[in-house]
Amino acid sequence: MDKAQTIKKEAEELLGKMIDNFEVEIEEDNGVYQVIIKTEENAPTVIGRHGETIRAIQKILEVVLYKTLGESVPLLVNVNDYREKQNQRLESLAAQMAEKTQSAKRATQMRGLSSYERKVIHEYITTNYPNLTTYSVGEGRDRYLVVDMKGNEPKQNENGMEE
């Protein structure tokens, strides 16, 4: 059984414990396996609140596949194009934050984002707003994203600590 078939089998077994009607497709894109789940009535169950369940499914699949295949397998789990819709929403939010930062000429903060969401916003602002910078502050659940004017970011010493 090849890697894609193994991923599909493990994903179907896991989802079968959660919901009834679904389809799983596996696509490989630059070494990352896309686990595409299609379901009509069960999408909210699989996605969860703010994408928490979809992230948990992805993490569980990564662990199961590591145990099964003996190697780390890069995955991205998607349900009914949730990731694309999420990226559009995050990019819109990033644009709003960027405009607010530029007009006020001072930093704006966004709390309650996952690491994935912070990464999408970092990339969007870096690509589209050359006069702005983004950085994360805090640890764990208290970590938040800051959008600021370039040159205003906190200075870091050689140990990576803010000064």
Would residue 48 count as lying in a domain? yes
CA-CA distance, 33 to 75, in Å (whole number)?
5
At residue 155, the pLDDT reads: 65
Q: Beta-strand (E) ranges in 18-161?
A: 23-29, 32-38, 75-79, 108-110, 132-137, 144-149
The model's pLDDT over 89-120, given as tens digits with 9 standing for 90+, comes to 999 999 999 999 999 999 999 988 887 888 89
Using the predicted structure, report yes or no on whether residue 158 has a pLDDT greater than 70.
no
At residue 163, the pLDDT reads: 47
Count of structural domains within the chain? 2
Would residue 107 count as lying in a domain? yes
- The per-residue DSSP string of 129-154 comes to -TTEEEEEESSGGG-EEEEEETT-SP
For residues 76 and 7, membership in a common domain is answered with yes
**The dihedral sign for the CA sequence 162, 99, 50, 47:** negative
CA-CA distance, 16 to 126, in Å (whole number)?
40
Token duo for residue 6: 């193994």
At residue 160, the pLDDT reads: 52
At residue 40, the pLDDT reads: 87
For residues 70 and 100, membership in a common domain is answered with no
For residues 40 and 105, membership in a common domain is answered with no
For residues 45 and 93, membership in a common domain is answered with no
CA nearest to 57, candidates 83, 27, 93, 87: 83
At residue 116, the pLDDT reads: 80
Q: What is the mean pLDDT of the chain?
A: 90
Using the predicted structure, report yes or no on whether residue 132 has a pLDDT greater than 70.
yes
For residues 38 and 90, membership in a common domain is answered with no
Helices vs strands, H then E, count in the chain: 5, 6
Would residue 154 count as lying in a domain? no
User: Angle between the 52-69 and 3-16 helix axes, to the nearest 10 degrees?
Assistant: 130
- CA distances to 30, 35, 60, 95 from 75, rounded to whole Å, are 11, 7, 11, 28
**The dihedral sign for the CA sequence 16, 21, 27, 31:** negative
For the question of whether the overall pTM of this predicted structure is more than 0.85, the answer is no
Kind and range of the H or E run holding 60: helix 52-69
Q: In what order do the strands lie in the sheet with 32-38?
A: 23-29, 32-38, 75-79
The model's pLDDT over 55-70, given as tens digits with 9 standing for 90+, comes to 899 999 999 999 999 9
Q: Which residue, 53, 80, 107, sits at the end of a domain?
A: 80
For the chain, what percent of residues have pLDDT higher than 90?
71
Q: Which residue, 57, 80, 103, sits at the end of a domain?
A: 80
Would residue 37 count as lying in a domain? yes
For residues 112 and 145, membership in a common domain is answered with yes
At residue 140, the pLDDT reads: 83
Would residue 23 count as lying in a domain? yes
